[in-house]
A and B are shown apart, each in its own frame.
Chain A
Amino acid sequence: MLRPLPMKHVRLLAMTQDLPQASLTLAETESFHPDERPPQTQALADRPGREYGERYRTAATRLEKIAKLVDLPATPQLPRVHVVHPDELAAVGSLLRERWEEASRFEESFRRLDDEERFIRDQEASLANFANLKIDLGKLRSKTRFLDFYVGIVPRQNVSRLEGAVELADHLLFKYLERGDSAHVIIVGPRGEREAQLDSVLTSAGFQALPIPSDIAGMDPRRKGEELETRRAEVAGQRQTLRAELARWEREHRETLIDARRTLLLAEPFVSLDPSIHSAGHLAMLSGWVPARAVPMLEERLALSLAMPFDLESRDPRPDERRLVPTVPVKNRWLAPFAMLVKQYGIPQYGEVDPTPLFAATFLLMFGSMFGDVGQGAVIAAAAWYFRAKLGRFWLFGVMSGLSSILFGFLYGSIFGYEEILPALWESPIHHPILMLQIALGYGFAFIVVACLLAIYNRFAVKDPAGAWLGHHGIVNLVFYLSLGWGGLDLARGGEFGTPPLLLVVVSLGALAVYAWRHLDAPPGEKLLVVLIETLETVIGYVSNTLSFLRVAAFSLNHAALSLAILTLAAMMGPTGHVITVILGNAFVLVLEGGIVMIQVMRLQYYEGFSRYFSGAGHEFAPLRLRRGSAG
């Protein structure tokens, strides 16, 4: 489970006309991850799938736009898997063009109705405002012999410029209302030569004239409101008619559109492979990564489906290709939520140990020990189970964290903070703080040693022996750390640091300093400074990182102390107050402390663990697939 699935690099040589079929077969096997590197030979300079890809993208875009108006299944069933010929793809593109032109007209009609509705709303606002004006706006309805009037709406950001522009045409602009992005304005000026200039300016400014009712002076607001309501109802009626027409159109073309979707799904693998396919005349080449155990099956399927001869060559990844090899993710229901958290940091590089199982085990151990309580653990587990639909794969993570908390709760003898109800199977942290700190320190030491061992293994696995010996957290570092631990333990027991561990510490630090010196390209003074600082940093880093694990004990103590505080408060209340305080206090501990503990555990994992041994520089295996669903 810790080791990656072995992969092979495969190179397929096939006839160009067989490529669509080859793509389809590769997609059906779901075991081919394309390698998009250009070929080493210049002869394979052609890209045979380019035109096909263009046709596909045009057609797919049209269908996507249609699917925004009508409900189409994204992945319909594919009753028959067949190769999509370029002519068939072109025909689908033409058909979708016609359908989109029709659908686009619906979209445009909906837009016009939206505009009309917005205009009615503006009119309502405008009329409400007119009613408060102390002038007879009825006189503005039509141009008079000497005066010219415009009443309407203009985007707010254009008002200032429009004001200047109308001024140049000897007109005045009066803004009487601002609503959203729009301003309601009245423009007044003398009739004459300059009046004509205004029309194009108003168009450029996005001016929209508002009709003024003929009887505005003596207007009955209720009657006018009813008129606008009638217009609104008319628009709603038109919208309903349009929706019915659209539904009719959808019924008429639904099958055709779903068929088009099927064709595009079948064409998709070839298009996805396009960057990996290179050809010269009739001969085409594509390459990719395949799990070693799937290679024979792949060859067999190609032999069955391809009409023309082909050649499939497979080999182990070369050392220089290691970074390019995709990593097949762990497929385990219980580890899936932890894998998602590991993925937040990175994907294991091919050859590296997959840290997910170790991450899961240490995460649960640390979370449980820092938040050990039977009752609160049960609440976490029950809440995760209850909300499993919303939490997706994370519900298992919640349940397992809760169970770990319950387990440690039994060990500590704690239930909702009470320590007198359950007998402790081991010890209560609050009563043995020094022991807890010692255990945490020992755990931290072991954790860092394991992290260093994994780092060493990973370096050897990716063929980096120098890094494994003398790199960060390599063998020499480990010798230093173990010697430091050895001497430190003797000191803690009341003895001395001891000569053998001291010698080992000095020798390992000396080796690291020499290695750093040789790899630095700087003047001697600068080199000396850097080496000194790096050596000091190594010593301080390991000591402080080990001490960092004291937080595991500190939080278990903190948890017990917080519970004690809540129970002390509760004891000061009456029976009802006691219950309320215990419930609220536990909720507080669950939300606040639970969250903090979670963050602290993640910090220890990412910073003290992953940063030592896990590069996270890999990329996930993403095989070519044929998308097909069950919806019809």
Chain B
Amino acid sequence: MSATAETYLKTRVSIMSERLLDARALAEIGQLTLPALAERFDLETLVDDQLPPRVRARAVEQALIQLLLADLAVLLRPMDATGGSLLLAWARKYALFNLKTLIRGKVYELDQGEIRRQLYDLPERVRLPHQELFRAENVLELLRVLETGPLRLIARQARESYEQRREPFVLEAALDQRYYAELARTASRFQGEEAQAVAQLLGAVLDRTSLLWLLRFRFAFGFSPSEAFYQLVPSTRLLHRERLLRLANVDGFEELLDALPAPLDRLLAGCGDLSEVQRRSNGLLLEECRRILARGRFGVPRALAYLILREQNMRLVYALIQGRLLGLSQEVVDIAIDLVEPKCPTRLPAAA
């Protein structure tokens, strides 16, 4: 990227980061009523009608994603191919959600209209070519369509497992795995000091994901070390391949947390369950994003950090609106908010 484009991007990110909600703003919006929330985030038309809460919540979610993708479109403009491909690879998670919805819909034989309602409306460069997939009338047909596209390797391996187990987990796990592997591969295209800055951020994302998956697969799903390791994506930061191999072989939840490298061991010490680990590791990731956004030298990692934080904000707003639509008590809403936007217990130095 040229020096001018880099400067423009950094200025853009700085201006856009003014939109992020700080602790005070979070506390304020946590107390807002539904109409006030709708007005604050320009969603009046979506919540002010006679539709059922589920439909309205869906429309709100869709509108919030569009806001995020509009930010993405602005940030992509000055970027070169490498930077742009990283942000697009990150945003394709929404295409992946759509694909999983389709697969689940076909496996459980849901009505086409119901499946369509669950899909996100995405811009072309983020979208997967799922029209053909949508038209499939059963799982075998869906797998056949997948086999003719860029996901053919996943489809082939998923076919056997599906025919044996008749459940979509293996296929979904393969899709998730591929998403993060693709993200890591895109990050490896950067060069020089910018590559280190990108690896730092992507490492934080992958560390969090691998840790949660490892704990979930080993202790919630009861997978063997081999099975659990196979589903993970090694990070370039803390949880690299060799470390994951060692961790996958640890047999207890607490023992695994004790065996984690610093600063994860300190941060997660005393976590009694997976949701607590999720909460704290989320906090660590957000802290890292804020650090990169405030002090990062390069535009692309700062832009990605901004998008991660913005997405977190959107999820929080969505959780709030959903809570209000369903008439949940403030106490329950607060718990949900804390899960989405956890307060990091310690201010940790940048991890090596």
Taking beta carbons and an 8 Å cutoff, which residues of A are in contact with B? 54, 58, 61-62, 65, 97, 100-101, 104, 107-108, 111, 155, 157-158, 161-162, 164-169, 181, 194, 197-198, 200-201, 203-206, 208
In angstroms, Cα B112 to Cα A65, docked, is: 17
User: Among the listed B138, B157, B160, which residue makes an inter-chain contact with A158, where contact means beta carbons less than 8 Å apart?
Assistant: B157
Residues of B within 8 A of A164 (CB): 229-230, 241, 244-245
Q: A161-B230, A164-B241, A201-B230 are in contact. List 11 more A-B contacts (CB 8 A).
A: A104-B137, A161-B229, A161-B232, A164-B229, A168-B224, A169-B225, A197-B224, A198-B226, A200-B224, A204-B231, A205-B157
Contact between chains at A204 and B137 (CB < 8 Å): no
Most B CB atoms within 10 A — which of A194, A198, A200? A200
B2 within 8 A of A: no
Q: Contacts A107-B144, A204-B161, A204-B174: A165 and B156 contacting too (C-beta < 8 A)?
A: no
B227 within 8 A of A: yes
B50 within 8 A of A: no
Q: Contacts A104-B137, A111-B144, A168-B248: A155 and B156 contacting too (C-beta < 8 A)?
A: yes
Contact between chains at B226 and A197 (CB < 8 Å): yes
* Bitwise interface map of B from 230 to 242 toward A, beta carbon under 8 Å scored 1, else 0: 1110000000010
**B320-341: which residues lie under 8 A (CB-CB) from chain A?**
none
* Bitwise interface map of B from 170 to 205 toward A, beta carbon under 8 Å scored 1, else 0: 100110000001000000000000000000000000
Residues of B within 8 A of A100 (CB): 137
* Bitwise interface map of B from 138 to 165 toward A, beta carbon under 8 Å scored 1, else 0: 1011001001000001001110110010
Residues of B within 8 A of A168 (CB): 224-226, 229, 245, 248-249
Closest to A110 in B: B144
Q: How far is the CB of A568 from chain B (nearest CB, A)?
A: 49
Residues of B within 8 A of A58 (CB): 112
Closest to A111 in B: B144
B40 within 8 A of A: no
Taking beta carbons and an 8 Å cutoff, which residues of B are in contact with A? 112-113, 135, 137-138, 140-141, 144, 147, 153, 156-158, 160-161, 164, 170, 173-174, 181, 224-227, 229-232, 241, 244-245, 248-249
Contact between chains at A206 and B156 (CB < 8 Å): yes
Contact between chains at A165 and B141 (CB < 8 Å): no
In angstroms, Cα B245 to Cα A158, docked, is: 16
Residues of A within 8 A of B244 (CB): 164
Residues of A within 8 A of B113 (CB): 54
Contact between chains at A165 and B157 (CB < 8 Å): no
Q: Contacts A164-B245, A167-B245: A108 and B229 contacting too (C-beta < 8 A)?
A: no
Closest to B134 in A: A61
Q: How far is the CB of B326 from chain A (nearest CB, A)?
A: 28
Contact between chains at A201 and B226 (CB < 8 Å): yes
Residues of B within 8 A of A65 (CB): 135
Contact between chains at A203 and B164 (CB < 8 Å): yes
19 contacts between A and B (CB under 8 A): A97-B137, A104-B137, A104-B140, A104-B141, A155-B156, A158-B153, A161-B232, A164-B230, A164-B244, A165-B230, A168-B225, A168-B249, A197-B225, A200-B227, A203-B157, A204-B174, A204-B230, A206-B153, A206-B160
In angstroms, Cα B230 to Cα A166, docked, is: 9
Residues of B within 8 A of A101 (CB): 137
Q: How far is the CB of B8 from chain A (nearest CB, A)?
A: 21
Closest to B177 in A: A161
User: Among the listed B147, B153, B157, which residue makes an inter-chain contact with A204, where contact means beta carbons less than 8 Å apart?
Assistant: B157
Residues of B within 8 A of A155 (CB): 153, 156-157
Contact between chains at B245 and A201 (CB < 8 Å): no
Q: How far is the CB of A152 from chain B (nearest CB, A)?
A: 12
Q: How far is the CB of B69 from chain A (nearest CB, A)?
A: 25
Residues of B within 8 A of A200 (CB): 224, 227
In angstroms, Cα B158 to Cα A107, docked, is: 18
Residues of A within 8 A of B144 (CB): 107-108, 111
Q: How far is the CB of A259 from chain B (nearest CB, A)?
A: 21
Residues of A within 8 A of B229 (CB): 161, 164-165, 168
Closest to A196 in B: B224
Residues of B within 8 A of A194 (CB): 224, 226
Residues of B within 8 A of A61 (CB): 135
In angstroms, Cα B157 to Cα A181, docked, is: 13
In angstroms, Cα B139 to Cα A104, docked, is: 12
In angstroms, Cα B143 to Cα A104, docked, is: 12
Contact between chains at B140 and A204 (CB < 8 Å): no
In angstroms, Cα B170 to Cα A206, docked, is: 11
Most A CB atoms within 10 A — which of B140, B174, B224? B224
Closest to B144 in A: A111
Q: How far is the CB of B103 from chain A (nearest CB, A)?
A: 16
Contact between chains at A181 and B153 (CB < 8 Å): yes
Pairs A-B, 8 closest by C-beta atoms: A206-B157, A197-B224, A165-B230, A165-B226, A168-B225, A155-B153, A168-B226, A169-B226
Q: How far is the CB of B2 from chain A (nearest CB, A)?
A: 25
Closest to A200 in B: B227
In angstroms, Cα B224 to Cα A169, docked, is: 9
Residues of B within 8 A of A165 (CB): 226-227, 229-230
Q: How far is the CB of A27 from chain B (nearest CB, A)?
A: 25
Closest to B165 in A: A203
Contact between chains at A204 and B227 (CB < 8 Å): yes
Q: Contacts A164-B241, A168-B226, A168-B248: A203 and B160 contacting too (C-beta < 8 A)?
A: yes
In angstroms, Cα B95 to Cα A369, docked, is: 56
In angstroms, Cα B153 to Cα A204, docked, is: 11
Q: How far is the CB of B182 from chain A (nearest CB, A)?
A: 10
In angstroms, Cα B231 to Cα A46, docked, is: 49
Residues of B within 8 A of A54 (CB): 113
Closest to A193 in B: B224
In angstroms, Cα B147 to Cα A162, docked, is: 22
Closest to B174 in A: A204
Q: How far is the CB of A187 from chain B (nearest CB, A)?
A: 11
Q: How far is the CB of B94 from chain A (nearest CB, A)?
A: 23
In angstroms, Cα B112 to Cα A54, docked, is: 10
Residues of A within 8 A of B241 (CB): 164
Q: How far is the CB of A202 from chain B (nearest CB, A)?
A: 9
Contact between chains at A205 and B153 (CB < 8 Å): no
Most A CB atoms within 10 A — which of B113, B161, B229? B229
Q: How far is the CB of A370 from chain B (nearest CB, A)?
A: 39
Closest to A61 in B: B135
Residues of A within 8 A of B225 (CB): 168-169, 197
In angstroms, Cα B230 to Cα A425, docked, is: 84
Residues of A within 8 A of B156 (CB): 155, 206
Residues of B within 8 A of A108 (CB): 140, 144
